[in-house]
Amino acid sequence: MRADGATHAGSFDLSYLGCLPDIYVAASSDEVELVNMVHTLAQIDDMPTALRYPRGQAYGDLEMPATPRFLEPGKGRMVREGRDGSMAILSCGSRLRECLKAADELEKLGVSITVADARWAKPVDTKLIKWLATDHKCLLTIEENAIGGFAAQVQEVLLNGGHLDGQGRPPVIFRSMMFPDRWIDHDVPYLQYEDAQLNASHIVDKARDMLSRAGVKAEAAQASAA
């Protein structure tokens, strides 16, 4: 497949589909999830569905399911559970592996990160979102989409659930990573993600800024003097 152009990167899918009523919108994180989601959406015949799938090559290091599995609409999954309640990253789409790389780097800095896969951009998993916001000081969403997509759906849950009010407990520190408000130039996907600042190093930088605001230090351990 050739490189993506500015108007052919699917940058607005979750925004214009998410505002439609009575539709399921799925976003797969890897080839296994893609197989299961195609199977799932093929079983749904009473409403429109849409699938946002990764372009390019599969990772190739995952065991493919012998039999596809039906995924409950609006139900995400925990991928990695942190130990200290400092921060959760909620990924929608194929940035999940970059989130896990970022979590590995933050682990080296003494911070244990929770990572979850939303699976669905609509309906979102409200139970998962509320738990992440309640049990963590910081919540970061990441998606391959322009403004008005998955993050807007999550923010609606947080606002209506009072998680940003600061009544009775500190509000969760909430941030989102998405495509910038400009056209992304024609290039291979990795460089487009680099331009959009959605790769692991950028996630680490965003996370460290959020953790700092929460009073959590994310610093490499200093070698003790001999």
The domain that contains 193 carries what CATH number? 3.40.50.920
Question: Coil, strand or helix: which one is 63?
Answer: coil
Q: Specify if 225 maps to a domain.
A: no
Half-sphere exposure for 183 (CA within 13 Å, toward CB):
8
Whether 1 maps to a domain, the answer reads: no
Looking at the structure of the chain, the number of domains it has is 1
Query: Rounded CA gap, 85 and 103, in Å?
Result: 13
In a domain, 123, yes or no: yes
Looking at the whole model, is its pTM more than 0.85? yes
125 part of a folded domain: yes
Per-residue pLDDT at 225? 47
Structural domain contains residue 2: no
Q: Which helix (H) or strand (E) holds 32?
A: helix 31-43
What is the band of 188 on the pLDDT scale with cuts at 50, 70, 90? confident
Q: For residue 23, what are the domain limits? A: 13-213
Domain membership of residue 136 (yes or no) is yes
Is the residue at 72 inside a domain?
A: yes
Q: What is the pLDDT of residue 211?
A: 97
Per-residue pLDDT at 120 exceeds 90: yes
pLDDT at residue 55 is higher than 90: no
Type of residue numbered 12:
F
Instruction: Provide the pLDDT for residue 226.
Output: 44
Examine the pLDDT at 75 and tell me if it is beyond 80.
yes
